[in-house]
Amino acid sequence: MAYHHDHNDSTRKKPTYVNGFVYVGVHIHFGPFGFTFDTRLYLRECTVRALNRQRDAAQRLPYRSKYALAREMLNALAALLPKGYQVYVTFDSWYASEKLIKLCRRHGWHVICALKRNRKVGKQRLDHHDLALKHQRYQPITLTAADCTRPAPVYYVRTVEGALENISGVVRAIISRRHKGDQSPKFFMCTDLQLSAQEALRLYQRRWPVEVDNLYLKEGLGVGDFRLQSFEATDKWFAVALLSLNYLQYQQAQHYVQTREFCSLAECLRQHRLTHWQRLIRAIAYAAHRTDDVEAVIQQFMPTTDWAILAHAA
């Protein structure tokens, strides 16, 4: 646990820091199916130094940056992917480093990512491109709404092509606004020039399941429910939470294969809990029917005293 920069609540003039943990995750998506491939716990360099003071030389932890964690997971994924498939890697502006983009291109993958306004395309900053193109007509594009009950959102974009600073090859930069008077445009980049701006941004939308993964790992599967544990124990807890999420995603995929209907992870989790309750109730009913001794069955299925006190306190 350490203080980290909160990207969601921070503004350009007022950064916000929160006490918590950070991890890097990779989510793969193909057709209607999506799975969390891996997660890696990130420790700040000062945190690693503090932990190593209490460890023997043979047990000291190496510091690994977020890029190093992402590189390990992407290299492991590359070894498992079948040959001949076109891969698009998407990430937000906080991970749009030169090293990560070059790594993806070395694997033969295309990159679609968000960029900060000060990144240079064709030796000019993106926000300067935005000013230079202010008299150019917008291209309206329609994207898929996250909530199917709402109308599809329309965005207004302008594009420019050029070489991204310190990266070989030509890319297409996309300047996107929610409406024509939007004073805070978003900037994106796509290395596949054969894609239109609409196609590129629709593929970038596939990044949203990563946020869904974070929600279920933290809120539904208790990835943060460790207290003052060693790094090894915390790392194993992350692996257990990831396995639980993968199980739910497998059930989600199985439901789609059988019914051709999408089932949310929340519904998969609810059905899983109902199945456990049904098994418990069935076991109690069978035991009561077989022994005809209700009190003995109650004592058999009652939790221990410590668990009962814990449940009551919760």
- How much is the average pLDDT of 180-195? 94
6-20 in b/e form (b: 16+ CB < 10 A) is eeeeeeeeeeeeeee
**Residues of the chain above pLDDT 90, percent:** 52
Residue 7: pLDDT band (50, 70, 90) is low
Domain ranges in the chain with CATH number 3.90.350.10: 87-220
DSSP tag of 272: H
Model-level pTM? 0.83
**Is the confidence at residue 306, as pLDDT, over 60?**
no
Query: From CA 277, how far away is CA 260, in angstroms rounded?
Result: 27
Q: How many CB atoms lie within 10 A of CB 286?
A: 11
**Rounded distance, CA 69 to CA 153, Å?**
35
CB 175 within 8 A of CB 197: no
Quick one: 36 exposed, middle or buried, by C-beta within 10 A (0-12, 13-18, 19+)? buried
Q: Which of 111, 46, 101 is nearest to 71 (CA)?
A: 101
| CA 189 from centroid of its chain's CA atoms | 19
pLDDT of residue 55: 92
Residues forming a β-bridge with 297: none
The CA distance from 156 to 141, in Å, is 6
Q: Cα–Cα distance between 112 and 191 in angstroms, integer?
A: 7
* pLDDT for residue 31 is more than 70: yes
Q: How far apart are CA 201 and CA 143, in angstroms?
A: 8
Residue 171 confidence class, pLDDT cut points 50, 70, 90: very high
The answer to whether 163 touches 182, Cβ cutoff 8 Å, is no
Specify the CATH number of the domain 87-220: 3.90.350.10
What residues contact 95, with CB distance under 8 A and at least 6 apart?
Answer: 66, 67, 70, 113
The alpha helices in the chain, defined as continuous H runs, are 45-52, 66-78, 98-106, 126-132, 197-204, 208-215, 231-259, 265-291, 294-301, 305-313
**pLDDT tens, 226-237?**
766 788 888 888
